[in-house]
Chain A
Amino acid sequence: MQLITILIVAFLGAGIVYLIGKISGKARDILAVLASLIVVILVSLAYNQKIYTSFYPLPFLNLSLTLRIDPLSWFFAIAVAGIGFLSILFSLEYMKHYQKLDFYYSMMLFVNAGMLGVVLSADFLSLYIFWEIMSWSTYLLISYKGGKAVGAGLKYIVMSTVGSIAMLFAIVSLYTSYGTLEFSSLASLLQTASSGYILFLLIMFIIGFGIKNAIWPLHTWLPDAHAEAVSPFSAVLSGILVRIGIYGFVLVMYSIVGLNLLHKLGYGLLNFNYILCWIGAISIIIGTFIALLQDDDKRLLAWHAIGQGGYMILGISFGTTLGIAGGIFHTLNHCIYIALLFLVTGAVEYRTGGVRDLNQLGGLIKKMPVTFIGGLIGISGLIGIPLTNGFVSKWLIYKTLIMEKHPFLAFVALIGTWGTILSVYKFLHNIFLGQLPEKYKDVKEVPWAMRLPMIILTSVIILFGILPGIPLNVISGIERSFGIKPLSTIIFGMPREIGELNIINILAAIVVAGVFIYLIFSLSTRSRRVNQYDNYAAGSFIPKDKYQYSVRFYDPVYRIIGPYLRDVVDDFYYWLVEKSKSFFQGVRQIYTGNVNTYALYILLFLAFLIITKIGWGLW
């Protein structure tokens, strides 16, 4: 009942918000926030429960739709609800100048409800239904801004449809083979399946979930969609919606197929896990290094979303305790910091009149300190600086790779991180550091409704960075539910048998060292505060607005690696679409407009039927 209540609140909220919006804008805003808050509360109340309900029978298919909550689904549900709530809160101010807000809020809630449905489903049919609901509402929201967003939305939904049909195919084949779609029964029934069939299932689900998760080579929709969606929705999109794909991977690979079967897939190096790993690795390289070339801040983050998705795949595809924990934990961490970063770009857009071009911004730290801190902590999490959450999960992933003796994958993962550093520093520098352009002289910090979500996310990043035990505890519960040896954790890091990681000691050391240096620093001769124009210019006059180095920030590297970093897959898809278009153009030429031809078709059809019968006895 509890689960049904969650879904009912989520879906009804979406509907009511739309209707209320026709009457009063204020009431709609309050109601939207309230609805998402209630969902957060309801989901968090379900912590550590195990519920299974069948809520809707479909007798003609001999199926019933079911919901469940277990550690895995709770983990993702709370992430969905949390990010949803924060981005709706953020929207209150951010979206003020937009049109069609009823539609916007309603769809935001709808997407959230769809995602909740996906993670709470206990059978594949419900999962598929909610998955599709999620997909089309996402499509509507991506297209919401119009202009370029229209193309992005179309690209998204077409690719998403390809994914869903792959998934549908797998689901139906499961149903015909086993007569049930419930996860728990399938998990036991599949143990006797042939490995060829398992492989087929996995490939279909990987296409389905992989398109949503934007793994290479199915990623091409993501940069456009992320960049063109409105920022609060980009946060949801990149933070959690894309990562529902990871939920799917984990669900299918570990909850249903299980480790035993997975290990049987493949011979030697042509191992299922190994191939998946390399797909993840390629995603990392492509994602992070193409991000380096971007000048649009949201596009830059979008490419990182692809890259970070690769880390998650790397983590979960090994099937070891550490790896799965790292992959799932990284999913959560990514969802927090990337949401924060998108909110930061949103805040910047809000105050600068929608500027996303990294070459036109700069120096905003003086005007928007809270946003800056959000950005700083966000990129630290993205890089994985110690004391932020991204560090622990990346550490787990690297550790797995080295322990499992995959140094090449580890290299890819590590060099990916260094690529990340380059591009996110450019992100931070070009927005917040350097010279403040004259036109942004009067920019103010964003209002509280936008600050609050950023502050919450920032503190969560720090909290999980220092106390990784909190989420890892839940994650080891997930692993226990898969029947894998659970990760043993201590609140500050890892126990000795896993590896040397104790965040609190690192924190203490840095704090002590920092305080010590600060003391020396304050004891020495004080310095004088100056403004940005009181600056070294080799004695010459400082030209306003021109004393900034941001365009082509890493030009020498671009020139070396740029030619290799074309998104070949995207080009291929475009080529495919163009070719199909001209093929379709050719096909429809058969409708010539001449009625004689049409009569000929009819006669030929009849002749074909009769000749095949009499001549060859076909029927």
Chain B
Amino acid sequence: MSGIYNWMYYIASGGLILIGLYIVLVKTNLIKIVIGLNFIDTGINILLICIGYVRGRTAPIFSRPGISPANVVDPVPQALVLTAIVIGVAVLALALSIVIKVYQHNKTLNVTKIKGLKW
């Protein structure tokens, strides 16, 4: 039991990434693919968090009383995740806006039909 318990977050993050990859690979709808990309992003964020997570410790916010470096989790991944989320949002926004343009030009969101550029 404890094995799974210890690895739970990793499995969750891995699962999210795999689901995302599956969507990107298989789904033909552009919006779904963008969602898939977001899945991957989220999965990675969780992965980062749980790499820095130490069971039983608290968030590294030193302005709160009673927090010493000995009983907080690693703060670096959290900082990384913040950045990664920002980047993810930016990519998502850009992706959606491009998808809109693609739809305007092609009148479809099916990637198998958007093949103006090939070979």
Interface residue ranges, A against B (CB under 8 Å)? 588-589, 591-596, 599-600, 603
Q: Give Cα A595–Cα B26 distance, bound, in whole angstroms.
A: 10
Of A588, A591, A594, A603, the residue contacting B112 (CB under 8 A) is A594
Kindly provide the distance from the CB of B63 to the nearest chain A CB, expressed in whole angstroms: 42
Q: Decide if B117 is an interface residue (CB 8 Å cutoff).
A: yes
Taking CB atoms, residues of chain A closer than 8 Å to B115 are 592-594
Q: Decide if B64 is an interface residue (CB 8 Å cutoff).
A: no
Of A588, A599, A600, A603, the residue contacting B119 (CB under 8 A) is A588
Contact A593–B25 (Cβ < 8 Å)? no
Of B25, B112, B116, B118, the residue contacting A599 (CB under 8 A) is B25
Contact A591–B25 (Cβ < 8 Å)? no
Contact B21–A595 (Cβ < 8 Å)? no
Contact A596–B119 (Cβ < 8 Å)? no
- Selected A-B contacts with CB under 8 Å, 27 pairs: A588-B119, A589-B119, A591-B118, A591-B119, A592-B115, A592-B118, A593-B114, A593-B115, A593-B116, A593-B117, A593-B119, A594-B111, A594-B112, A594-B115, A594-B118, A595-B111, A596-B24, A596-B25, A596-B26, A596-B27, A596-B28, A596-B111, A596-B112, A599-B21, A599-B24, A600-B25, A603-B21
* A interface footprint on B24-67 (CB within 8 Å = 1, 0 otherwise): 11111000010000000000000000000000000000000000
**Can you name 16 extra interface pairs (CB under 8 A) apart from A594-B112, A596-B112?**
A588-B119, A589-B119, A591-B119, A593-B114, A593-B115, A593-B116, A593-B117, A594-B111, A595-B111, A596-B24, A596-B25, A596-B26, A596-B27, A596-B28, A596-B111, A600-B25
Which residue among A591, A595, A603 has the maximum number of chain B CB atoms within 10 Å of its CB? Answer: A595
A606: nearest chain-B partner, CB-CB: B21
Kindly provide the distance from the CB of A589 to the nearest chain B CB, expressed in whole angstroms: 7
Q: Give Cα A341–Cα B5 distance, bound, in whole angstroms.
A: 93
Interface residue ranges, B against A (CB under 8 Å)? 21, 24-28, 33, 111-112, 114-119
Taking CB atoms, residues of chain A closer than 8 Å to B118 are 591-594
B37: nearest chain-A partner, CB-CB: A599
Taking CB atoms, residues of chain A closer than 8 Å to B26 are 596
Kindly provide the distance from the CB of A249 to the nearest chain B CB, expressed in whole angstroms: 44
Taking CB atoms, residues of chain B closer than 8 Å to A592 are 115, 118
Taking CB atoms, residues of chain A closer than 8 Å to B27 are 596
Which residue among A588, A596, A600, A603 has the maximum number of chain B CB atoms within 10 Å of its CB? Answer: A596
Q: Give Cα A595–Cα B106 distance, bound, in whole angstroms.
A: 15
Q: Give Cα A321–Cα B6 distance, bound, in whole angstroms.
A: 89
Q: Give Cα A383–Cα B45 distance, bound, in whole angstroms.
A: 85
Q: Give Cα A600–Cα B22 distance, bound, in whole angstroms.
A: 10
Taking CB atoms, residues of chain A closer than 8 Å to B24 are 596, 599
Kindly provide the distance from the CB of B119 to the nearest chain A CB, expressed in whole angstroms: 5
Which residue among B114, B115, B119 has the maximum number of chain A CB atoms within 10 Å of its CB? Answer: B119
Taking CB atoms, residues of chain B closer than 8 Å to A589 are 119
B116: nearest chain-A partner, CB-CB: A593
A587: nearest chain-B partner, CB-CB: B119
Taking CB atoms, residues of chain B closer than 8 Å to A595 are 33, 111
Taking CB atoms, residues of chain A closer than 8 Å to B25 are 596, 599-600, 603
Taking CB atoms, residues of chain A closer than 8 Å to B111 are 594-596
Q: Give Cα A600–Cα B114 distance, bound, in whole angstroms.
A: 17
Taking CB atoms, residues of chain A closer than 8 Å to B33 are 595
Q: Give Cα A594–Cα B30 distance, bound, in whole angstroms.
A: 11
Taking CB atoms, residues of chain B closer than 8 Å to A588 are 119
Kindly provide the distance from the CB of B27 to the nearest chain A CB, expressed in whole angstroms: 8
Q: Give Cα A596–Cα B36 distance, bound, in whole angstroms.
A: 12
Q: Give Cα A591–Cα B24 distance, bound, in whole angstroms.
A: 17
Taking CB atoms, residues of chain A closer than 8 Å to B112 are 594, 596
Taking CB atoms, residues of chain A closer than 8 Å to B21 are 599, 603
A590: nearest chain-B partner, CB-CB: B119
User: Considering the complex of A and B, which 4 residue pairs feature the smallest CB-CB distances, nearest first?
Assistant: A593-B118, A593-B115, A588-B119, A599-B24
Which residue among B26, B33, B111, B116 has the maximum number of chain A CB atoms within 10 Å of its CB? Answer: B111
A589: nearest chain-B partner, CB-CB: B119
Kindly provide the distance from the CB of A285 to the nearest chain B CB, expressed in whole angstroms: 45
Taking CB atoms, residues of chain B closer than 8 Å to A600 are 25
Taking CB atoms, residues of chain A closer than 8 Å to B119 are 588-589, 591, 593
Q: Give Cα A595–Cα B116 distance, bound, in whole angstroms.
A: 12
Kindly provide the distance from the CB of A497 to the nearest chain B CB, expressed in whole angstroms: 71
A594: nearest chain-B partner, CB-CB: B112
Q: Give Cα A596–Cα B21 distance, bound, in whole angstroms.
A: 10
Q: Give Cα A588–Cα B117 distance, bound, in whole angstroms.
A: 12
Taking CB atoms, residues of chain B closer than 8 Å to A594 are 111-112, 115, 118
Kindly provide the distance from the CB of A179 to the nearest chain B CB, expressed in whole angstroms: 46
Q: Give Cα A16–Cα B26 distance, bound, in whole angstroms.
A: 63
Q: Give Cα A589–Cα B118 distance, bound, in whole angstroms.
A: 8
Kindly provide the distance from the CB of B110 to the nearest chain A CB, expressed in whole angstroms: 10
Q: Give Cα A600–Cα B26 distance, bound, in whole angstroms.
A: 9
Kindly provide the distance from the CB of B91 to the nearest chain A CB, expressed in whole angstroms: 15
Kindly provide the distance from the CB of A593 to the nearest chain B CB, expressed in whole angstroms: 3
A592: nearest chain-B partner, CB-CB: B118
Q: Give Cα A595–Cα B98 distance, bound, in whole angstroms.
A: 15
Q: Give Cα A592–Cα B21 distance, bound, in whole angstroms.
A: 19
Taking CB atoms, residues of chain B closer than 8 Å to A593 are 114-119
Q: Give Cα A596–Cα B116 distance, bound, in whole angstroms.
A: 15
Q: Give Cα A594–Cα B115 distance, bound, in whole angstroms.
A: 6
Taking CB atoms, residues of chain A closer than 8 Å to B116 are 593
Taking CB atoms, residues of chain B closer than 8 Å to A603 are 21, 25
Q: Give Cα A591–Cα B26 distance, bound, in whole angstroms.
A: 17
Taking CB atoms, residues of chain A closer than 8 Å to B28 are 596
Q: Give Cα A589–Cα B115 distance, bound, in whole angstroms.
A: 13
Q: Give Cα A594–Cα B24 distance, bound, in whole angstroms.
A: 11
Kindly provide the distance from the CB of B105 to the nearest chain A CB, expressed in whole angstroms: 15
A588: nearest chain-B partner, CB-CB: B119
Kindly provide the distance from the CB of B112 to the nearest chain A CB, expressed in whole angstroms: 6
Kindly provide the distance from the CB of B60 to the nearest chain A CB, expressed in whole angstroms: 33
Kindly provide the distance from the CB of A293 to the nearest chain B CB, expressed in whole angstroms: 42
Kindly provide the distance from the CB of A377 to the nearest chain B CB, expressed in whole angstroms: 58
